[in-house]
Amino acid sequence: MKRFTQRTITLLIAAGMGLATTAAWSAESLQDVLKRRNLSQQDLLAAAKTYVPTGKRDEFIAFSSGGQSGQVIVYGIPSMRILKYIGVFTPEPWQGYGYDEESKKVLAGGRIDGKDITWGDTHHPGFSETNGEADGQFLFINDKANPRLAVLDLRDFETKQIVVNPIMKSEHGGAFVTPNTDYVIETVQYAAPLENKKFYPLEEFNEKYRGGITYWKFDRKEGKIDPKQSFSLELPPYSQDLADAGKGPSDGWSFNNSFCSERYVGGIEKGRPPYEAGCSAKDTDYMHVINWKRAAELVKEGKAKKINGHDVLMMDTAIKEGILFLIPEPKSPHGVDVTPDGTKIVVAGKLDTHVSVYSFDKIMAAIKAGKIESKDPYGIPVLSMKDTLHTQVSLGLGPLHTQFDSKPCVAYTSLYVDSQVAKWDFCEGKVLDKISVHYNIGHLMTMEGDTTKPAGRYLVALNKLSIDRFNPVGPLHPQNHQLIDISNDKMQLIYDMPIPLGEPHYVVAIDAKKLKPGVRYKLGTDSRTDKPHPAAVRAGEERTEKKGNKIEVFGSLIRSHITPETIEAEIGDEVTIHLTNLERAQDETHGFTVSTYNVHASVEPGKTVTVKFKADKEGVYPYYCTEFCSALHLEMQGYLLVKPKGWKATKTTLAAGNYTEAEYKAIVKKVADTQTVIDSVVGYITSVNYKDFPDAVAMVEDAFDQIGKTKGLKEKHEAFAAKKDWENAALWAEQIWQYQVKCADLGIRAKTHLEQNGAKKVK
Closest distance of CB 739 from ligand CUA, Å = 15
Chain mean position to CA 505: 15
Of 58 and 171, which has the nearer Cβ to ligand K7E?
171
442 binds ligand K7E (CB under 6 A): yes
When the beta carbons of 481 and 607 are compared against ligand CUA, the nearer one is 607
Strand 561-563 and strand 566-570: the pairing is unpaired
400 binds, among ligand K7E, ligand CUA, none (CB under 5 to 8 A by kind): ligand K7E
DSSP 89-146: SS-BGGGTBTTSHHHHHHHHTT-BTTB------B---EEEEETTEEEEEEEEEEETTT
Q: How far is the CB of 417 from ligand K7E (least distance, A)?
A: 13
What is the DSSP code (8-state) at residue 268? G
Cβ–Cβ < 8 Å for 595, 611: no
Give the one entry of ligand K7E, ligand CUA, none that residue 123 binds, where binding means its C-beta sits below a cut-off of 5 to 8 angstroms depending on kind: ligand K7E
Using CB under 6 A as the binding rule, whether residue 289 contacts ligand CUA is answered as no
Q: Which residue number, 480 or 710, has a Cβ lying nearer to ligand K7E? A: 480
Burial of 476 (0-12, 13-18, 19+ CB in 10 A): exposed
Site string for ligand CUA, 586-605 (x = CB under 6 A): ----x---------------
Count other Cβ atoms within 10 Å, centred on residue 448.
Answer: 26
Q: Rounded to the nearest whole angstrom, what is the least distance from the CB of residue 621 to ligand CUA in the complex? A: 18
Minimal distance, residue 601 CB to ligand CUA, in Å: 11
3 state DSSP class of 201 = coil
Annotate 288-321 with three-state secondary structure.
Answer: EEEEHHHHHHHHHCCCCEEECCEEEECHHHHHHC
717 binds, among ligand CUA, ligand K7E, none (CB under 5 to 8 A by kind): none
- CA separation, residue 260 to residues 273, 276, 277, 278 (Å): 14, 9, 10, 8
Tell me if 285 sits within 8 A of 279, measured CB to CB. no
* Closer to ligand CUA by Cβ: residue 182 or 542: 542
CA distance 428 to 414: 19
| Cα 657 off chain centre by | 49
With CB under 5 to 8 Å by kind, the binding choice for 633 among ligand K7E, ligand CUA, none is: ligand CUA
What span, in angstroms and rounded, lies between the C-alpha atoms of 58 and 51?
A: 9
User: Judged by CB, which is closer to ligand K7E: 504, or 747?
Assistant: 504
Of the pair 590, 751, the CB lying nearest ligand CUA is at 590
- Residue 627 binding result from ligand CUA, ligand K7E, none, given CB thresholds of 5 to 8 Å by partner type: ligand CUA
Q: Which does residue 443 bind out of ligand K7E, ligand CUA, none, counting CB within 5 to 8 angstroms by kind?
A: ligand K7E
Helices and strands: H and E segment counts in the chain: 14, 45
Q: What is the distance between the alpha carbons of residues 95 and 154, in angstroms, rounded to a whole number? A: 15
> Least distance in Å: CB of 441 to ligand K7E?
8
Q: Cα(242)–Cα(442) distance, rounded to whole angstroms?
A: 13
Residue 380 or 553: which CB sits closer to ligand CUA? 553
Tell whether residue 313 is a contact of ligand CUA (CB under 6 A): no
Shortest Å distance, C-beta 173 to ligand K7E: 8
Q: How far apart are CA 163 and CA 214, in angstroms?
A: 12
Interaction partner, residue 625 (ligand CUA, ligand K7E, none; CB < 5-8 Å by kind): ligand CUA
Q: How far is the CB of 454 from ligand CUA (least distance, A)?
A: 43
Q: Considering beta carbons, is residue 81 or 633 the nearer one to ligand CUA?
A: 633
Binding test (CB under 6 A) with ligand K7E, winner from 92, 103, 122, 123: 123
* Closest CB 603 distance from ligand CUA, rounded Å: 9
Helix (H) or strand (E) holding 17: helix 2-17
Regarding 350 and contact with ligand K7E (CB under 6 A), the answer is no
Residue 751 touches which of ligand CUA, ligand K7E, none (Cβ within 5-8 Å per kind): none
Residue 681 to residue 686: CA distance in whole angstroms: 9
Q: Which is nearer to ligand CUA, 542 or 627 (CB)?
A: 627
Give the dihedral of Cα atoms 502, 506, 511, 514; nearest 10 deg: -80
Interface with ligand K7E, residue 124, by CB under 6 A: yes
User: Angle of helix 694-708 relative to helix 661-687, nearest 10 degrees?
Assistant: 150
Length of the chain: 763
DSSP string for 519-559 = SSPPTTEETTTTEE-TT---TT--EEEEETTEEEEEEEEET
Phi, psi dihedrals of residue 221, rounded to the nearest 5°: -65, -45
Between 400 and 497, whose beta carbon lies closer to ligand K7E?
400
Task: Name which of 163 and 629 has its Cβ closer to ligand CUA.
Answer: 629
585 near ligand CUA (CB under 6 A): no
From the list 26-34, 128-136, 226-234, 623-631, the region that binds ligand CUA by CB under 6 A is 623-631
**Which residue, 174 or 236, is less far from ligand K7E as judged by CB?**
174
- State which residue, 401 or 590, has the beta carbon closest to ligand CUA: 590
User: Considering the rule CB under 6 A, would residue 743 count as an interface residue with ligand CUA?
Assistant: no
- Among ligand K7E, ligand CUA, none, the one that 505 touches (CB under a kind-dependent 5 to 8 A) is ligand K7E
172 near ligand K7E (CB under 6 A) = yes
Q: Say whether the peptide bond before residue 78 is cis (omega within 30 degrees of 0).
A: yes
Smallest separation, CB 464 to ligand K7E (Å): 7
Exposed / middle / buried, residue 84 (Cβ in 10 Å: 0-12, 13-18, 19+): middle
Contact assessment for residue 435 and residue 407, using Cβ atoms and an 8 Å cutoff: no
Residue type, 8: T
The neighbouring-strand residues paired with 344 are 359
The answer to whether residues 437 and 481 touch, using CB atoms and an 8 Å cutoff, is no
Orientation of helix 713-722 relative to helix 726-756, angle to 10°: 150
**Based on CB atoms, which residue is closest to ligand K7E, 276 or 297?**
276
Question: Segment 491-510, which members bind ligand K7E (CB under 6 A)?
Answer: 505-506
Shortest Cβ 51–ligand CUA spacing (Å): 33
Helix (H) or strand (E) holding 735: helix 726-756
How many residues of this chain interact with ligand CUA, rule: CB under 6 A? 7
Taking CB under 6 A as the criterion, the residue among 155, 288, 334, 607 binding ligand K7E is 334
Q: Does 333 bind ligand K7E (CB under 6 A)?
A: no
Shortest distance, position 556 Cβ to ligand K7E, whole Å: 45
Encoded one letter per residue, x for contact with ligand CUA by CB under 6 A and - for no contact, window 625-644 reads: x-xxx---x--x--------
Residues of span 198-257 touching ligand K7E by CB under 6 A: 242
# residues near ligand K7E by CB under 6 A: 11
Scanning 132-140, 565-573, 624-632, 697-705 for contacts with ligand CUA by CB under 6 A, the matching segment is: 624-632
The number of C-alpha atoms within 13 Å of 573 and in the hemisphere containing its C-beta is 26
258 close to 243: Cβ distance less than 8 angstroms: no
User: Pattern 377-416, binding to ligand K7E, x per CB under 6 A?
Assistant: -----------------------xx---------------
670 contact, one of ligand K7E, ligand CUA, none, CB 5-8 Å limit per kind = none
User: Does residue 670 interact with ligand CUA by CB under 6 A?
Assistant: no
Interface residues with ligand CUA (CB under 6 A) are 590, 625, 627-629, 633, 636
Binding interface with ligand K7E (CB under 6 A):
123-124, 172, 242, 334, 400-401, 442-443, 505-506
